[in-house]
Amino acid sequence: MVVSLDWRDVAALVEAVRRAEAVKPSQQAKRDAFREYGVLGTEKDPPLTAIFYGIMLRLGILDKAIERLTGVKSPLLLDSRLRAVLRVFIYLELFARERVRLANRAEALKRVAAWLSSRGHPYMGMWFVDAIRDLPKDVAAPRTADEELMHKYLLPPWYVRRIVSLVGEGEAEPLLKSFLVRPKISVRVNILKATVSEVLRKLESEGKKPEISKVVPTVIKFDGPYNFDKSELFRSGKIVIQEEPAALASIVLNPRPSEVVVDLAAAPGGKTEHIGELMENKGVIYAFDIDRTRMKRLEELVKRAGISIVKTYLRDGREAPRILGEEVADRVLVDAPCTSDGTLAKNPDLRWRLFEEEVPKFAQLQYELIKSALKLVKPGGYVLYTTCTLLPEENEEVVRKILRKEEGRVVLVPLRGPYDEGFLPGTMRVWPHKHSTIGFFYALFQRVERR
Give the chain's radius of gyration (CA, Å).
23
Cβ atoms of 224 and 45 within 8 Å: the answer is no
Q: Catalytic residue at 388?
A: yes
CB atoms within 10 A of CB 439: 26
Cα separation of 117 and 447, whole Å? 62
Query: In one letter, which amino acid is 295?
Result: M
Residue 180 dihedral angles phi and psi, to the nearest 5° = -100, 0
DSSP state of 327: S
Coil, strand, or helix at residue 387? strand
Residue 357 dihedral angles phi and psi, to the nearest 5° = -70, -15
Cα separation of 301 and 27, whole Å? 17
CA distances from 196 to 51, 138, 183, 246 (A): 33, 52, 21, 18
Coil, strand, or helix at residue 183? coil
Residue among 333, 404, 336 nearest 364 (CA): 336
Find the largest Cα–Cα distance for the chain. Answer: 80
Residue 41 neighbours by CB under 8 Å, 6+ apart: 227, 229, 230
DSSP state of 156: -
Out of 100, 124, 279, 388, the active site residue is: 388
The string of DSSP codes covering 40-91 is TTSTTHHHHHHHHHHHHHTHHHHHHHHHHHH--S-GGGS-HHHHHHHHHHHH
Coil, strand, or helix at residue 350? helix
Residue 442's beta-bridge partner residues? 386, 428
Cα separation of 396 and 139, whole Å? 42
Helices 45-57 and 80-94, axial angle in degrees (round to 10): 100
Q: Is 86 exposed, middle or buried (0-12, 13-18, 19+ CB in 10 A)?
A: buried
Query: Which parts of 137-266 fold into alpha helices (H)?
Result: 145-153, 157-167, 169-178, 196-205, 232-235, 244-253
Q: Which residues are catalytic?
A: 388
